[in-house]
Every structure is written in structure tokens, then in C-alpha cells.
């Protein structure tokens, strides 16, 4: 049975991670209804066969709910980890000396294996080594091709295979491991919409992933390394979207540096018209609690006020006790923020200067015209999604209905602020365009009889990148006559 879901009452999108607590068809359907616009499949956990089942479930529900739905596959990336200890763990005393080497013998309180040869040449005296998400801090004393001697600045218990971060050096490792390459091929074969690249350090990492994807999915670069922040603009030029991955950023940088960096990344992405996702620990307490802390609510609200395109749930929806409630809470927070009379002014604190092109000029004009004439919505006809992205960058005050004949375009727009994308047959004439725009606005509840709508399109129809038409139309009572597919 097909049941069309109405467009969301908010413009920011919600990206929900699926996992053991939420991968069943029943729970994914509940997350849909609670407000999830897109779903993240995390390749750090589980096998490809299981993920294939999850993706198939989403596609089945997509047909049931009659809404193009976005799937993002998140690659694990090169995880740095120490080896194993003879007793499973060791206590590192603050002030003591600790050695990381390539000896396969199980470790103790004085040494452990580090199975990453690249690091031995990269580390220099004074460089920090952060262990177990920064709980333990070591400082390099000397480094040779097979031995790193370090002083323990912050001690504690270190157990088998704990993670290692080295924030002070550019790690000479590719962003794609062999596992990532296999998972990337899997994602492309599954026709997912977005592929997220983890631990990006340089623009070349993005270029390599883009080459492997071959245009069959959009590419999101996760900004979680200081090296990526330093080359943010170059990475943004190559990526289709970025994520503020605050987990590792918060490990490798002082916590107080993360909020201004978040704002900088969001602003930079918005200026270039790239979707930007804010992620990690947004409603962390809801992993175990049915309600969030007030600080978490404020954190989500801040990302919405800043104009982020999407906000993401991680373990809250993937492995927590309250996945549906987490999505519902995030939906409620975002909806309430966008109802704030001061929201429109705040979301435009970031100035988005249009490029000197006809398409950008029309996108900016669409926002101003809609505001001036009190339009109910802006309607875009697009093949590639470019027109929709340009208009969304302007953050108009009204909903953005995007009509496209390409299902893949509608799906990819699920991370774009304010967009309700619908797959429909292409138009062949100006008159048909106007009639369809009004009919679809009524059908999807984005206008009523008597409303004005602003229509943006390109002529000749069916030509990507030809945005050159803007038109204001008034809807009358019998516009629903006619059929669309």
C-alpha cells in the first residue's frame, strides 16, 4: 500500500544512522514517520550482506511512502590502533616512558606494538599521541624507523587495539584502505546516493575517491582532521558536500576550538553552495535516556540557526534504547527553532554572494521575489539538481519544491536544506511547465488556491545547466485537474 508523506514542516534535514537498534523494516518506517529524511549506513560495523538488506528495506519503504529517500554509505577510513597486551590491558603511569614498536610480542606497561609503519617516519620529537579517544596523552621523545619513545603526559589504563590519533603531523596514509575500496564498490553497486569519505587530510584524498565513484554517487568529505581544516577551501571545491565530524575533531583539537571551527566549516560550505552536515553527540544522552539534556537541545538548535543543511544522529538512532524518540526529538527541536521569528535573520548571518551567472542571479531573485509577493513556495524544474542547490543556498523563507525526471537527482537532494524533491515526467513546453508546477504544489500541500508560486526552470527543457527562466504564477481552484507520473 502506498502512503504519501507530506513535506516536512522544517527546512533542515535529519540524517539518521541505522544499526542494531533500527535496521528492521518496522523501525526504519517509524524513523521515516518521526522525521528522518536520509539514512546513514556505517561501514565501520557489520558485513556487506547485512548492509545490502538494510538498503533494500529502505528502497522498499521509499515506494511505500512515495518519497525519494536518501541513503548515505559512510566508509570506515584508516583507523590507527595499537596492538594487544599480554594481560589484555596495561596501566601507563603519568611521567613514565612508553615505547611503541613493531615487535609482535604482546605489550605491557612499558611498550606495545604499533602496526602502522607509516607513523614511525612521520612522527617528530614533541608530537602528541592521543590514545583511546584522547583519554591518554603521550609526547614523542624520539622516533626511528622501528621505534617511537614517548613520555606519558596523561596516564591511565590502555587496553587491546585502542585507537590512536596523531594531531600534530600529516599522516602519510591514503584515506582509502583496501576495505574502503571494497565497501566503495559495494556502495556503487547498491546504487546508494552519497558516499562519505572518512579521515580526509588533503584534496587529493577527495579526488581519488571521486575517480573511483565515477559519478555514480555524490561524495561527502568528512572534516575530522586538523590537516583537512587547513585545506578546507580546496577540499570543498572537490567535494559535493562536507560533514563537521566533531568526534575526531574534538579528540585531535582542544574542545574549545571545535565550536568556532564548526561555524567556520558551515559558513564556508554555505558560501560555495555545498550541503553541510553537523554530526556527533548531538543528542548523546538519548542513547540511554528518553529525553536529552538542555545543553544537547541548545547544540542542535545552534546548528539549525547557523543554517546547516542537515543534522545527524549517530549511536542515538543506531544502537540506543530510544531511536524513534531521538529522531522525533531532533525533528521537534528543529521545527521549533525555524518557527522562531528571529530565525530568518540568523540564518542569513552568512552572506552567500552569487557567482556572476544567469543561474545564480535567478536563484537570488527567486528568494527576493517570493518574499516580496508573499509566495507560498518556490518550484524548481531540474535534471541535475544544480538549480535546486543554487536556490537552497539562498535560504528562502518558503518551501522549495523540486521537480525532476531523474530519481537519482531527487534522492541526492535529500541532504539539501529546504528541498522537497519529487520525481515526475519532464515538461516539453512553457505552458505545460506552469500547469504542472501549480498542480504539484497543490498536490504536495505547498500551496492552496489563490496563492502565488515562483517557478524557476531552464529553456530549452531537458537541457542540464540551462536555468534562464523565472515566472510568478497564481493558483486557481481547479489546478488539480490533470495527471502526473
Q: Specify the CATH number of the domain 358-474.
A: 3.40.1380.20
Please identify every stretch of the chain with a pLDDT value under 70, giving residue numbers as ranges: 1-5, 462, 465, 477-485
- How far the first Cα of the chain sits from its last, in Å, is 17
The catalytic position among 67, 222, 225, 246 is 222
Place of cell 531540474: 382
The angle subtended at Cα 261 by Cα 361 and Cα 394, nearest 5°, is: 15
Catalytic one of 40, 202, 246, 423? 40
Phi, psi of 459 (to 5 degrees): -120, 130
Residue 90 forms beta bridges with which residues?
158
DSSP 231-248: THHHHHHH-SEEEEEHHH
Model confidence over 345-400: pLDDT tens digits?
A: 999 988 888 888 888 999 999 999 999 999 999 999 999 999 999 999 999 999 99
- Quick check: is 280 catalytic? yes
Question: DSSP per residue over 125-181, as a string?
Answer: TT-EEEETTTTEEEEEEEEETTEEEEEEEE-EEEETT-BEE-TTS-----S--HHHH
Residue 39 parent element (H or E): strand 38-42
Is-contact 222 242, C-beta < 8 A? yes
Number of CB atoms found within 10 A of residue 482's CB: 11
Active site residue 81: yes
- Helix (H) or strand (E) holding 335, with range, is helix 323-339
Q: Where are the beta strands (DSSP E) in 250-306?
A: 276-279
Q: Which residues of 161-172 are buried (b: 16+ CB within 10 A; e: fewer)?
A: ebebbbbbbebe
Nearest to 113 by CA among 81, 89, 141, 140: 81
Q: Contact at 8 Å (CB) between 309 and 13? A: yes
Measured CA to CA, the distance from residue 100 to residue 128 in angstroms comes to 13
Q: Which residues contact 252 (CB under 8 A, 6 or more apart)?
A: 130, 134, 165, 167, 224, 225, 226
Q: How many CB atoms lie within 10 A of CB 429?
A: 10
Provide the 3-class DSSP secondary structure of residue 327. Answer: helix
Question: How much is the pLDDT for 465?
Answer: 66
* The predicted structure's pLDDT at residue 83: 95
Count how many Cα atoms sit within 13 Å of the Cα of residue 216 in the half-sphere of its side chain: 15
Active-site entry in 280, 382, 409, 467: 280
In the block, cell 583511546 appears at 132
Give residue 355's pLDDT: 85
State the pLDDT at residue 479.
62
Q: In this predicted structure, what is the pLDDT of residue 467?
A: 82
Which of 98, 140, 107 is closest to 121 using CA atoms? Answer: 140
CATH class of 89-165: mainly beta
Every domain of the chain and the residues it spans: 13-77+175-345, 89-165, 358-474
Decide: pTM greater than 0.85: yes
CA-CA distances (angstroms) from residue 257 to 31, 109, 136, 252, 293? 33, 32, 19, 10, 22
> Is the distance from CB of 399 to CB of 421 less than 8 angstroms?
no
Cα angle, residue 214 at apex, residues 213 and 216 outer, rounded to 5°: 75
Given CATH 3.30.1330.40, say whether it is the number of domain 13-77+175-345: no
Residue 333 belongs to what H/E stretch? helix 323-339
E strand residue ranges, 246-399:
276-279, 310-313, 377-381
Q: What pLDDT sits at residue 112?
A: 97
Amino acid at each position: 500500500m502506498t502512503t504519501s508523506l507530506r513535506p516536512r514542516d522544517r527546512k533542515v534535514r535529519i540524517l539518521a544512522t541505522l544499526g542494531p537498534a533500527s535496521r528492521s523494516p518496522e523501525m526504519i518506517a517509524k524513523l521515516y514517520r518521526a522525521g528522518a529524511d536520509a539514512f546513514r549506513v556505517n561501514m565501520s560495523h557489520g558485513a556487506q550482506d547485512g548492509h545490502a538488506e538494510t538498503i533494500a528495506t529502505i528502497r522498499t519503504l521509499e515506494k511505500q511512502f512515495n518519497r525519494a529517500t536518501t541513503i548515505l554509505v559512510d566508509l570506515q577510513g584508516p583507523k590507527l590502533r595499537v596492538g594487544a597486551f599480554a594481560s589484555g590491558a596495561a596501566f601507563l603511569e603519568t611521567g613514565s616512558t612508553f615505547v611503541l614498536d613493531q615487535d609482535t610480542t604482546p605489550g605491557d606497561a612499558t611498550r606495545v606494538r604499533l602496526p602502522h609503519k607509516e607513523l614511525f617516519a612521520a612522527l617528530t620529537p614533541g608530537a602528541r599521541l592521543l590514545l583511546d579517544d584522547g583519554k591518554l596523552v603521550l609526547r614523542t621523545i624520539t622516533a626511528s624507523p622501528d621505534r617511537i619513545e614517548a613520555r606519558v603526559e596523561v596516564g591511565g589504563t590502555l587496553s587491546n587495539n585502542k585507537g590512536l590519533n596523531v594531531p600534530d603531523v600529516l599522516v602519510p596514509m591514503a584515506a582509502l584502505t583496501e576495505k574502503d575500496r571494497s565497501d566503495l564498490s559495494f556502495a556503487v553497486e547498491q546504487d546508494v546516493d552519497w558516499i562519505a569519505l572518512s579521515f580526509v587530510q588533503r584534496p587529493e584524498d577527495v579526488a581519488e575517491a571521486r575517480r573511483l565513484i565515477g559519478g555514480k554517487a555524490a561524495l561527502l568529505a568528512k572534516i575530522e582532521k586538523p590537516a583537512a581544516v587547513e585545506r578546507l577551501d580546496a577540499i570543498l571545491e572537490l567535494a559535493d558536500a562536507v560533514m563537521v565530524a566533531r568526534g575526531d575533531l574534538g579528540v585531535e583539537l582542544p574542545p574549545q576550538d571545535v565550536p568556532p571551527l564548526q561555524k567556520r566549516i558551515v559558513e564556508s560550505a554555505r558560501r560555495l553552495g555545498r550541503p553541510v552536515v553537523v554530526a556527533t553527540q548531538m543528542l548523546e544522552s538519548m542513547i540511554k535516556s528518553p529525553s536529552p539534556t538542555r545543553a544537547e537541545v541548545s547544540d542542535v538548535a545552534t546548528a539549525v540557526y547557523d543554517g546547516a543543511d542537515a543534522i545527524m544522529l549517530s549511536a542515538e538512532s543506531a544502537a540506543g534504547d530510544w531511536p524513534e524518540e531521538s529522531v522525533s526529538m531532533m525533528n521537534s527541536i528543529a521545527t521549533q527553532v525555524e518557527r522562531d521569528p528571529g530565525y530568518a535573520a540568523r540564518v542569513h548571518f552568512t552572506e552567500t554572494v552569487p557567482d556572476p551567472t544567469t543561474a545564480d542571479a535567478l536563484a537570488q531573485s527567486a528568494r527576493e521575489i517570493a518574499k516580496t509577493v508573499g509566495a507560498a513556495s518556490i518550484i524548481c524544474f531540474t535534471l541535475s539538481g544544480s538549480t535546486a542547490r543554487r536556490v537552497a543556498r539562498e535560504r528562502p523563507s518558503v518551501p522549495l519544491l523540486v521537480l525532476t525526471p531523474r530519481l537519482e537527482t531527487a534522492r541526492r537532494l535529500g541532504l539539501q536544506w529546504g528541498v522537497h524533491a519529487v520525481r515526475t515526467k519532464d515538461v516539453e513546453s512553457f505552458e505545460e511547465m506552469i500547469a504542472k508546477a501549480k498542480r504539484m504544489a497543490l498536490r504536495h500541500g505547498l500551496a492552496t488556491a489563490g496563492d502565488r508560486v515562483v517557478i524557476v526552470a531552464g529553456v530549452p527543457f531537458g537541457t542540464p545547466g540551462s536555468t534562464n527562466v523565472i515566472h510568478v504564477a497564481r493558483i486557481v481552484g481547479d489546478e488539480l485537474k490533470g495527471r502526473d507520473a
